[in-house]
Amino acid sequence: MNSLSETYKTADWKNEKHVPVIGAPLAVKKGTVVPVTVTIGKEVAHPNTTAHHIAWIALYFQPQGSPVPYEIGRMEFKAHGASAEGADKSGVYTHHEATMKLKTEVSGTLMATSYCNIHGLWQSTQVLAVE
């Protein structure tokens, strides 16, 4: 049996539409509120249809030396064109991007995860240095 961690995929986001792209500064001053934007399909557009879509994005921060990460936030995307008239008939679609903010006094690693209803779980990381 696979463990959940074995199902996460990663790739170069410039060529793969499923990878969550973390948009955050590489370094911040201690105690600064840091906006972090996570986008799916930054360079290669990901579909957002009833049949093929991103269901959610989650952002975590693991402080350097900590055994566990903190969940910063999660965004679920519910509008993929479905309506009473059928698939892709509503004309209402969410965009798979979320901005969350955090404040930290220690350096660590930002970790983003996402879920595509067809292609599964994806992840990426970015180091955040605190000066």
CA distance 86 to 90: 8
Q: CB neighbours (10 Å) of residue 65?
A: 8
Task: Evaluate if residue 97 carries a pLDDT over 80.
Answer: yes
- 131 belongs to the catalytic site: no
CA distance 65 to 102: 18
The CATH number of residue 64's host domain is: 2.60.40.730
Whole-number pLDDT of residue 16: 81
The per-residue pLDDT of the chain, averaged, comes to 93
Q: How many domains does the chain have?
A: 1
Among the listed residues 33, 60, 56, the one whose alpha carbon sits nearest the alpha carbon of residue 124: 60
Q: Phi then psi for 4, rounded to 5 degrees?
A: -60, -40
Please write the tens of the pLDDT for every residue from 65-85: 999 999 999 999 999 999 999
User: Residue 33: which domain range?
Assistant: 4-130
Whole-number pLDDT of residue 106: 96
Q: Average pLDDT in the 52-66 region?
A: 97
Strand partners, 96: none
Q: CB neighbours (10 Å) of residue 78?
A: 10
Please write the tens of the pLDDT for every residue from 101-122: 999 999 999 999 999 999 999 9
Task: Evaluate if residue 30 carries a pLDDT over 80.
Answer: yes
- 17 belongs to the catalytic site: yes
Catalytic residue among 80, 96, 97, 116: 116
Which helix (DSSP H) or strand (DSSP E) does residue 59 occupy?
strand 54-63
Catalytic residue among 14, 29, 52, 78: 52
